[in-house]
Amino acid sequence: MVHPALLVAPIAAPLLAALLAIAFPRGAVAAALSAVGVALVASLVLVVEVARTGTGAALAIGGWPPPLGIALEADGLSAMFLLAASTIGLGVLVVAQGPFGWTGRETRKGYSFWPLALCLLAALNAIFLSRDFFNFYVGLELLSLSAVALVALDGKREAIEAALRYLMFALVGSLLYLLGAALLYAQYGTLDIGLIAASAETNGPTLVAAGLMTAGLAAKTALFPLHAWLPSAHTGAPAVASAMLSALVPKASFFILVRVWFDALPGQAGPGLTLVLGTMGAVAIVYGSILALLQERLKLIIAYSTVAQLGYLFLVFPLAGGDSTAQPWFAGAWTGGMVHAVSHGLAKAAMFLCAGAMMAAAGGDKLSDVRGIVAKMPLATFAFALAAVTLMGLPPSGGFLAKYLMLTAAFASGAWVWGAVVLAGGLLAALYLYRPLASLFAPADPDRTFTSVPLRTELVPLALALVAVLLGVASQFPYDILQVGRSVAAEAGLE
Amino acid sequence: MGGDPIIASWLVYGCCGAVLVGLGLFGFMRPTTTLRRVLAFNIVGSGIFLLFGATGYRVPSTGADPVPQALIITGIVVALAATALAVALMLALARVSAGRDEDA
Amino acid sequence: MTLPGLTHVLLEGPFLPLAALIWPLVLGLLAALPRLRAHVMMALPLAPIPALILALSGAVSGQTRAPDLLLGVALGLDAEGALLLGAIGALWLLAGIHALGYMKRPDRPAVFVGFWCLTLAGNLGVVLAQDVVTFYVAFAAVSLAAYFLVVHEGTDEALAAGKVYIVLAVIGEALLLAGLMVGASSADSLLIADVRAVLGADGWNGLALTAIVLAMGIKAGLVPLHIWLPLAHPAAPTPASAVLSGAIVKAGIIGLLRFVPGDAEVMGWTLVVLGLFGAYGGVIVGLGQKRIKAVLAYSTVSQMGVVIALCGAGVVTGQTALAYSAAALYCAHHALAKGALFLAVGVAHGSSARLIPFVVIATGVVAASVAGAPLAGGAIAKSVIKPAFEGIPLLLVTLSAIGTTALLARFIVMLGRSHSAMSNAEPGLAMAGAWLAASVGALVLPWLVGGAFMANEASYYLAPGALWSSLWPVGVGLAGFALVLKFVRLRIWFAEGDIAPWVVAGARRGAHVIAHRRRLAPPSLPGVSSAPLRRLVSRIEAGLALPVMAGLAMMAMIAAIVLFR
Amino acid sequence: MTGGVLPILIVLAALVPALISFALPERHARLRSIVNLSGAVLKLGLVAYLLLAVADGAAPEARLSLAPGLDLLLRVDALALLFVTLSGVLWLITTIYAIAYLGDSPNLSRFFGFFGLCVAATTGIAFSGTLITFFVFYEMLTLSTWPLVVHKQNEKSFAAGRRYLAYALPASAVLLIAIIWLESATGPVEFATGTDLSVLGETSLQMIFWLFIAGLGVKAALFPLHGWLPAAMAAPAPVSALLHAVAVVKAGAFGIIRIIYDVFGIATVSALGLATPLAILASFTILYGSVRALEQSEIKKRLAFSTVSQVSYIILGAALAGPIAAIGGLAHLVHQGLMKIALFFCAGIYAERAGIETVEALDGIGPRMPWTSVAFTLGAMGMIGIPPMAGFVSKFYLGVGAVQTGANWVVVVLATSSLLNAAYFLPLVYRIWFLPAPEDRAAPADGFERPLGLIVPAVIAAGAALAVGLMAGSPLSPLGWATLIVERDYLP
């Protein structure tokens, strides 16, 4: 059995560090790094344990079993997301020492960044580990509030406006989600996923509840019609923060959505759900790419690229693993979706960190400002290129593996429309990423000088991008972990 | 002690909750200032908590079911935090747009 | 771990044929080395020696096979091959010696020697080749390398002639390649004998035969394709044109002899007709030429016309073996005789008025032999080919002697006037010696070797009947020429290469059209101007940011999920 | 040494120097050259060792499974070795040439890094045992070639790079569709074991085949998809040599050969009635490439279009269902590589040392640059198909093979294409040797034909083309090896 501490540590450590950071701002960086380090180690051990034992790990906090108590559980999926979150979190915080580190005197941004970031990470870990809808709600709220605060960190006018709009969307989303939870509780008298799955039956109120929760979560994941808040928020936020915002925050609400439809109510997903989410995802891919193509600022391109790539995730519902029996081997779209979530997180974090480093060096984030920066920052540019390769889904990156799994599922189940969308997404990604790459690699005009940037701001994104590519190369390992504790629906597919 | 009341009290609370949620959502979506939206947000919140309470009562025999009450308390705390953040942001925005920039 | 096939044999059969080919190539390469550049011209006469030794040793029993080279080289030599090899080798030797004298200070001697040896190797290869690929390689070498001999002088006229030559040569190569491909594949073997057997059939094989005959026709000066000959000879240096006319043209004839199968009736008749047409056409246009080498060139066209007719006749009358040996003898004699005539031109240019009579008399004898005068080698050669003909072609062949005599008489007259202006000009030992040797060779060869090829004994040719039958055409020819010289004032001159100017002009216009047709501009991506798109998109973004829109979208979503259960 | 590790070693022999070059700062030029050259030599040594092993029938393979049904398989069979030997040899001489050609121009570490990556990808393509492995390395090749095309970083090369990506990326998308469509029905496709295609209907099989041809056709410069090749001439000479002779174009042709022989099988291809249309398309490309080459006044553009037409010989050989045509096609894979790389080296030398870019500027350069001009002439002769150069041998085999399978019209195509080749190559040779040189051509300080690093590779390549043609009969020659391949693997 997995030692209970492994499940508690990823949540407790960051929260503890957040409190310490508030109390001793001078030691904030040390506390933060050590806390996330602990979380990373715990998640690593957890992943190894899960892989080795082949079963998830569960812990009823305080000995109170559900439905009364709160249970923490880690199956393959949550272990994988946990590990990704901790890795990206550590990377981001290492880079954050630059702009937000202790500089002799206490500044507003320097002081408030660390607790917010740590709360955000704690919230993420809480969501990934919990099995209870109300627990999800609490995690979701903590996540949203800290994210909104991070967006408004710069204090500039458009940052605050963006934060406010983000808050509005987030509030609507969480309210609808809460309403759905309330109805579910009214229906089944419990909010624990396992118990609901046991006694779920398809009837009106359950569907209404699930619909409400889906709408709420879609708003938080910035699915196409509800994405308007994301670009301005992620551009307003400081680059380091937007790395976490883009890479992790939407994945948490998507994670809950997956739990709702694949684990809690496997039988309920009617054609309505799959087609709606699928079409909105497909439109998100195309729309996000077109917008990314038209942007002039580097951060806006990356933000709209997030909108597009998130569309991929929602293709999991229509594809939903495809009837794996038909495929000669059981590669499911579900696994593809989850691998895409992780590899996109890593690549997007790397890309935003590079963008941050380049903006610091060039003093502006327009494509013309960063032209020819490869001469000065070869490593960062190479990291950016590697991340771009993952986003385009070119082999040997993790993105390719995800795309490949989704494509096989699409072709096997005859739904080649979604396959075409996946491919088009890859091509469009190549289209809108070509301009930034071309201007980065362009010959810099001699009189343009870039200020030097600490080496770590280049090495961390490179490391993250390499992990994203590694995901594609050594993909047997993540593939097996994701299968642990995979629900039937994920395998057989929502009918 | 009166017999069964004409309609069960939990139903009354449930309907009130539903009405509050509807009003709040409508208020939220109308093109209004942010402040009004935050207020609408609180209305919807209380509506939902009322609903939660109503569901709790429905379970007969051993008195009210404790779980919804716990959830309601947490919900209220979270709603309060969200409102506080919203108001703080609005103040910051007002201050910024009035010309004085936040200290870095 | 042995590499497969490493142990297999590199060479089977006698080595001499392969040596005869490789030796000139080696000499050609040595010429390129700077150290040997000083006396590189010496290589010219040395190159053909191994081939001569091989020819003198007579037919070679069995094939020489070198499976690694090209696609498996197979060389062989039969009696006729030995005769041809000997004549061609001798001519190359004598022309080489003549060149030593003729080209005192040649510019870029290394290049000249290099390509001289390459052409020689090709020429010998054509005779020796038993398999299709070696034949093609040799034919390519002899036709393409000869280009450098033609343009050696570098004058504009030479370059123009070279251009026509190379274009025709390349077309010939392409045709030959196509023909050989079809032939080799339907015969399913690379040996010439097998391919020859299969070429007779109709359909694609017939087309292949036509392609091969056209390619050989270009080389052998078959009438419509002969236009490069009269242009190239005057432009080339004398030893080169001697070799061009004497040996290189023979490559085409050998090709015809090797590839035209016995059962191709239609092809046989076309060859006879075109051959005879060439024989008479060559004489008529030759008479209308101004320059002495052009006259000789047309005489070659006419003589080759006769041989082509002979090949055709052999097929038509079913006596291909007889035609083969007769053609071999005729070509051998013609090689040496025509070579002698060209060398005579070189000697004449180099000798003073005082010496010119000797040159004229000696050349007159050789010319007579070519025309078929009695007692000379030509008579035997002509008599040997007669049995292959019947009916009208036979008559035409005998009458062609008249034309040849007239043309050669005109040549002798022009030769007389072409002595050098300097009174003490000496043609030099090398040039004169080579010329004399060639003349003697031409006269004597048919007698020496004729025995093996003649149906009857040498004495038959001394009998009065045979004498008379070869004398009267020569007499009539001489008389006719004398009359024309004296009384017919009007002189009709033909442009050199007769139809060449029109052909060249047509080709140039065609090339011009291809090169300058409107360049199709590469399809550029239609540049969608981003402005309208940008405006539309920003409007959508602003709209979606409104809470009401977001709310409606969420409501729609919930409804869809609930309703479409 | 267990067989399995060999293919990985060979791929690493190309990959490791690349990674080292990336890491080396610019000033370590000497060290970088040594690393690359030793990598190339090591690779050749391993290939030689493998040649012996495979000749005896061994087929070492290394398998790395990414996900169930998705495993990377590196397998050495005779066909793979033919391609790897070619790319190994040409990589060595191209590296020598590149070191001399680029001298001390900027960002060379990046250049040699991507250069090595390219060759590693090509080796991967050659050794790939399954369709997915092939696709992974095929993509790696596209990605690692783009930076080489835009190496000069001027507007022209960026435009060429854009155009290259505009052709290559959709092509890879199409290829991926084809692979997935096929594999979703038949399960993972392995070249060695072959696949039973009965599962799919005839029309879908045909559509999949044409998707494959479209996907691979871009790199193999088949007619409608060849647009990027001439534009890619903006790259420096060693890169165009790499593109045309060593890696990219060959990868496309190699892919088509794999698809026709190993995935579909020649019998199925002709049964489905796909062989003739492909042969017609290839023949049209042959003629189209030659005609377009006639119009180009720039030497490199002319060579580019000549590549467009020459590569289609290989595809023609593969499309014709006969064994002899197949041998001809496979041999041409090597022959074209040798001849074309010689031509590109010479074009690079003319441009670099004598500033000659266009055909008109070639007048009279022969005597001044004898070695380069001889190499160029040999290459040109080979292209025209004049014996005994290598080009003639493969063209002859193609013709004979074509007639054997009844496709007699192919002989006409081959003859016409030889004429067209002569039409656009002979004027160059004519200008080099026979026209007087313009007076104003100033020889560079240290003479035209310096440094040797430029001249030697060109001469070696031309010499190799001649030697391969001359010794075509021997089993050691590419023709011999191609015969071994066809007899061993593909005879019906």
- D15-47, pLDDT tens digit by residue? 898 888 888 887 788 888 888 889 889 999 988
Residues of D in Cβ contact (< 8 Å) with A398: none
> Is the pLDDT at A432 greater than 60, yes or no?
yes
Pairwise CB contact (< 8 Å): B85 & A179? no
ipTM: 0.74
How many Å lie between the alpha carbon of C7 and the closest alpha carbon of chain A? 46
How many Å lie between the alpha carbon of C519 and the closest alpha carbon of chain A? 30
Share of chain A above pLDDT 90, in %: 40
Chain A 198-217, residues with CB within 8 Å of chain C CB atoms: 202, 204, 207-208, 210-212, 214-216
Query: Please, what is the average pLDDT of chain D?
Result: 86
CA A275 to chain centre: 23
Which residue among A145, A168, A179 places its CB closest to the CB of B81? A145
User: With an 8 Å Cβ cutoff, is A157 touching chain B?
Assistant: yes
Two tokens at D307?
A: 């590549």
- The residue-averaged pLDDT of C549-562 equals 86
pLDDT at C4: 45
Q: Which of A90-104, C265-279, D404-418, D440-454 has the lowest mean pLDDT?
A: D440-454
> Is the pLDDT at C395 greater than 70, yes or no?
yes
Pairwise CB contact (< 8 Å): A164 & B34? yes
How many angstroms separate the Cα of B18 from the Cα of each of A215, A431, B77, C362, C394?
A: 18, 48, 21, 133, 123
B and D interact (at least 3 Cβ pairs within 8 A): no
pLDDT tier for residue C523 given thresholds of 50, 70 and 90: very low
Alpha carbons within 13 A on the beta-carbon side of D472: 30
Residues of D in Cβ contact (< 8 Å) with C175: 415
A398, closest residue in chain D (CA to CA): D66
Determine contact, residues A226/C546, Cβ cutoff 8 Å: no
Share of chain C above pLDDT 70, in %: 86
User: With an 8 Å Cβ cutoff, is A119 touching chain B?
Assistant: no
Closest CA to D221 of D314, D114, D328: D314
pLDDT tier for residue D3 given thresholds of 50, 70 and 90: low
| Three-class DSSP category at D368 | helix
> Is the pLDDT at C193 greater than 90, yes or no?
no
- pLDDT tens-digit profile of D272-289? 888 889 999 999 999 999
- pLDDT tens-digit profile of D387-409? 888 888 888 889 888 888 888 88
- pLDDT tens-digit profile of A439-472? 888 777 777 788 888 888 889 999 999 999 888 8
Q: What are phi and psi of D70, to 5 degrees?
A: -135, 80
pLDDT at C105: 67
Determine contact, residues C461/C380, Cβ cutoff 8 Å: yes
Determine contact, residues C155/C235, Cβ cutoff 8 Å: yes
A71-74 and A57-60 as β-strands: parallel, antiparallel, unpaired? antiparallel
pLDDT at C2: 37
pLDDT at C459: 58
> Is the pLDDT at C216 greater than 60, yes or no?
yes
List the chains bordering chain A where 3 or more Cβ pairs fall under 8 Å.
B, C, D
> Is the pLDDT at C76 greater than 60, yes or no?
yes
How many Å lie between the alpha carbon of D295 and the closest alpha carbon of chain C? 5
Which residue among B21, B103, B104 places its CB closest to the CB of A179? B21
Cβ-count burial of A74 within 10 angstroms (0-12 exposed, 13-18 middle, 19+ buried)?
buried
CB atoms near residue A9 (< 10 Å): 21
Q: For residues D309-337, b (16+ Cβ closer than 10 Å) or e, as one string?
A: bbbbbbbbbbbbbbbbbbbbbbbbbbbbb
List the chains bordering chain D where 3 or more Cβ pairs fall under 8 Å.
A, C
Chain B residues interacting with chain A (CB cutoff of 8 angstroms)? 21, 24-25, 28, 34, 37, 41, 44-45, 48, 51-52, 55, 58-59, 65, 67-68, 71, 74-75, 78, 81-82, 85-86, 89-90, 92-93, 96-97, 101-104
pLDDT tier for residue A119 given thresholds of 50, 70 and 90: very high
Residue type, A322: G
Pairwise CB contact (< 8 Å): C548 & B29? yes
C555, closest residue in chain B (CA to CA): B25
Pairwise CB contact (< 8 Å): B101 & A155? yes
- pLDDT tens-digit profile of A133-156? 988 999 999 999 999 999 998 888
pLDDT at C223: 81
- The residue-averaged pLDDT of B36-54 equals 90
> Is the pLDDT at C317 greater than 60, yes or no?
yes
Helix, strand, coil distribution of chain A in percent, nearest 5 = 75, 5, 20
Residues 6+ apart with CB under 8 A from C85: C51, C54, C55, C77, C124, C127, C128
> Is the pLDDT at C206 greater than 90, yes or no?
no
Residues of C in Cβ contact (< 8 Å) with D295: 515, 519
> Is the pLDDT at C521 greater than 70, yes or no?
no
Report DSSP letters for A150-177, one per residue. Answer: HHGGG--HHHHHHHHHHHHHHHHHHHHH
Comparison of pLDDT for D26 and D413, the residue scoring more: D413
H helix runs in C156-264, sequence order: 156-187, 192-199, 204-220, 228-235, 238-243, 249-259
A395, closest residue in chain D (CA to CA): D136
Residues of C in Cβ contact (< 8 Å) with A271: 564
**How far apart, in whole angstroms, are the C-alpha atoms of residue D70 and residue D47?**
27
pLDDT tier for residue A494 given thresholds of 50, 70 and 90: low
- The residue-averaged pLDDT of D344-370 equals 86
pLDDT at D445: 65
- The residue-averaged pLDDT of A325-341 equals 69
Comparison of pLDDT for D442 and A174, the residue scoring more: A174
pLDDT tier for residue C497 given thresholds of 50, 70 and 90: low
**How far apart, in whole angstroms, are the C-alpha atoms of residue A300 and residue C115?**
70
Residues of C in Cβ contact (< 8 Å) with D400: 181, 184-185
- The residue-averaged pLDDT of C519-539 equals 63
B and C interact (at least 3 Cβ pairs within 8 A): yes
Which residue among B45, B81, B93 places its CB closest to the CB of A160? B93
- The residue-averaged pLDDT of D292-307 equals 89
User: With an 8 Å Cβ cutoff, is A65 touching chain B?
Assistant: no
Which residue among D70, D154, D186 places its CB closest to the CB of A404? D70
pLDDT at D236: 86
pLDDT at C426: 72
State which H helix or E strand residue C60 sits in. Answer: strand C60-66
H helix runs in A261-415, sequence order: 271-294, 298-314, 316-319, 333-362, 378-392, 398-412
Residues 6+ apart with CB under 8 A from A332: A320, A321, A322, A324, A405, A409, A490, A491, A493
Residues 6+ apart with CB under 8 A from C399: C473
User: With an 8 Å Cβ cutoff, is A163 touching chain B?
Assistant: yes
Name the domain count of chain C: 1
pLDDT tier for residue C451 given thresholds of 50, 70 and 90: low
Chain C residues interacting with chain A (CB cutoff of 8 angstroms)? 530, 533-534, 537, 541, 544-545, 547, 549-551, 553-555, 557-565
Domain of residue C96 covers 16-497
Cis peptide before D188 (omega within 30 of 0): no
Q: Which of A169-183, C261-275, C365-379, C427-441 has the highest mean pLDDT?
A: A169-183
Vertex D236, ends D230 and D237: CA angle to 5°? 80
Determine contact, residues C165/C58, Cβ cutoff 8 Å: no
Chain C residues interacting with chain B (CB cutoff of 8 angstroms)? 546-548, 551-552
Two tokens at A394?
A: 């070119």
| Three-class DSSP category at A474 | coil
pLDDT at C450: 63
pLDDT tier for residue A330 given thresholds of 50, 70 and 90: very low
**How far apart, in whole angstroms, are the C-alpha atoms of residue D483 and residue C31?**
38
pLDDT tier for residue C525 given thresholds of 50, 70 and 90: very low
Pairwise CB contact (< 8 Å): B48 & A178? yes
In a domain? residue C364:
yes
**How far apart, in whole angstroms, are the C-alpha atoms of residue C347 and residue C368?**
19
Two tokens at D135?
A: 């696709």
- pLDDT tens-digit profile of A339-359? 999 999 999 999 999 999 999
pLDDT tier for residue A255 given thresholds of 50, 70 and 90: very high
Residues of A in Cβ contact (< 8 Å) with B102: 108, 155
Residue type, B23: L
In a domain? residue C252:
yes
pLDDT at A490: 61
Residue type, B96: V
Determine contact, residues C33/C56, Cβ cutoff 8 Å: no
Determine contact, residues C19/C39, Cβ cutoff 8 Å: no
pLDDT tier for residue B2 given thresholds of 50, 70 and 90: very low
In a domain? residue C9:
no
Report DSSP letters for A257-276, one per residue. Answer: HHIIIIII-GGG--HHHHHH
> Is the pLDDT at A16 greater than 80, yes or no?
yes
pLDDT at A387: 93
In a domain? residue C149:
yes
- The residue-averaged pLDDT of D164-168 equals 89
Pairwise CB contact (< 8 Å): C551 & B30? no
Please, what are the domains in chain B?
9-97 (1.10.287.3510)
pLDDT at D352: 85
- The residue-averaged pLDDT of A6-26 equals 89
**How far apart, in whole angstroms, are the C-alpha atoms of residue A403 and residue A396?**
11
Report DSSP letters for A187-208, one per residue. Answer: HHS--BHHHHHHH----HHHHH
pLDDT at C488: 60
pLDDT at A487: 67
- The residue-averaged pLDDT of D176-200 equals 82
**How far apart, in whole angstroms, are the C-alpha atoms of residue D371 and residue D89?**
21
How many Å lie between the alpha carbon of C528 and the closest alpha carbon of chain B? 36
Which residue among A328, A394, A442 places its CB closest to the CB of D69? A328
A and B interact (at least 3 Cβ pairs within 8 A): yes
A385, closest residue in chain D (CA to CA): D143
CA D88 to chain centre: 12
Ranges of each domain in chain A: 1-131, 149-265, 269-495
**How far apart, in whole angstroms, are the C-alpha atoms of residue A157 and residue A151?**
11
List the chains bordering chain B where 3 or more Cβ pairs fall under 8 Å.
A, C
Two tokens at A185?
A: 């509780």
User: With an 8 Å Cβ cutoff, is A330 touching chain B?
Assistant: no
Residues of A in Cβ contact (< 8 Å) with C559: 211
Q: What are phi and psi of A429, to 5 degrees?
A: -60, -45
pLDDT tier for residue A327 given thresholds of 50, 70 and 90: very low
Q: For residues C169-198, b (16+ Cβ closer than 10 Å) or e, as one string?
A: bbbbbbbbbbbbbbbbbbbebbbbebbbbb
> Is the pLDDT at A217 greater than 90, yes or no?
yes
Pairwise CB contact (< 8 Å): A427 & D70? no
How many interface pairs between A and B have CB atoms less than 8 angstroms apart? Answer: 84
Pairwise CB contact (< 8 Å): A228 & C562? no
List the chains bordering chain C where 3 or more Cβ pairs fall under 8 Å.
A, B, D
Indicate the DSSP class of residue D72: E
Pairwise CB contact (< 8 Å): B31 & C548? yes
User: With an 8 Å Cβ cutoff, is A403 touching chain C?
Assistant: no
How many interface pairs between A and D have CB atoms less than 8 angstroms apart? Answer: 81
**How far apart, in whole angstroms, are the C-alpha atoms of residue A69 and residue C298?**
116
Pairwise CB contact (< 8 Å): D474 & C68? yes
**How far apart, in whole angstroms, are the C-alpha atoms of residue A170 and residue A219?**
7
pLDDT tier for residue B62 given thresholds of 50, 70 and 90: low
Determine contact, residues D60/D3, Cβ cutoff 8 Å: yes
How many Å lie between the alpha carbon of C92 and the closest alpha carbon of chain D? 23
Pairwise CB contact (< 8 Å): D473 & C72? yes
pLDDT tier for residue A322 given thresholds of 50, 70 and 90: very low
Determine contact, residues C162/C240, Cβ cutoff 8 Å: no
